[in-house]
Amino acid sequence: MTPIDLNELKISPAALIGKQWMLITAGTPENFNCMTASWGGLGFLWNRPVAFVFVRPNRHTCRFIEEQAAFTLSFMPEQYRQDLIFCGRNSGRDVDKMAHTALRPLTTPGGLPSFQDAELVLECRKMFRTTLQEADFLNWSEVSPAWYAEDNPLHYLYICEISSALKA
């Protein structure tokens, strides 16, 4: 993978994250977990490029995110769609995602876990984490039934500096 200047990335963040989806991978190269995510964004904050993701605290991946200073966002080609579905429907608590998918681990130059064949990998250094609060929603009744009913906990929002971007 080759480091690229973020300013040269010609992408639509909404399509990249919302349609292609991404794997959030956290931990160490020896002990990591990944999950599929389609909520988040890319932008500019505190005078640096940032990525933000929304992760429910009960995700197994969340424990790995909490333990490390950084994690990766990996954008896989279409041939991995079924593997992304698998990683989005199963928990690393119950299954070995590497044994059940064609995903092959890769360690980034920053020493973070990611995957071979990724079209784009963003190394993300955590800067901010908060829990979404019901009282802060301006449209709670619209959002709550679909996303926060029953025992679905409110998401953590992580804002991260994109410390480097790597392209295939």
DSSP per-residue string spanning 83-137:
HHHHHHHS-TTTS-HHHHSS--EEE-TTS-EEETT-SEEEEEEEEEEEE--GGG-
Half-sphere exposure of residue 141, counting CA atoms within 13 Å on the CB side?
0
- Measured from the CB atom, is 1 or 158 closer to ligand FMN? 158
Q: Yes or no: say if 166 and 108 are a contact pair by the CB < 8 Å rule.
A: yes
DSSP 155: P
Residue 157 burial (CB count, 10 A) = 16
- Measured from the CB atom, is 10 or 19 closer to ligand FMN? 19
Contacts with ligand FMN by CB under 6 A lie at 21, 33, 35-39, 54-56, 59-61, 85, 88-93
- Measured from the CB atom, is 1 or 23 closer to ligand FMN? 23
Q: Give the residue closest to ligand FMN by C-beta.
A: 88
- Measured from the CB atom, is 59 or 125 closer to ligand FMN? 59
For the CB of residue 81, give the shortest distance to ligand FMN in the complex, in Å.
10
For the CB of residue 5, give the shortest distance to ligand FMN in the complex, in Å.
27
For the CB of residue 2, give the shortest distance to ligand FMN in the complex, in Å.
27
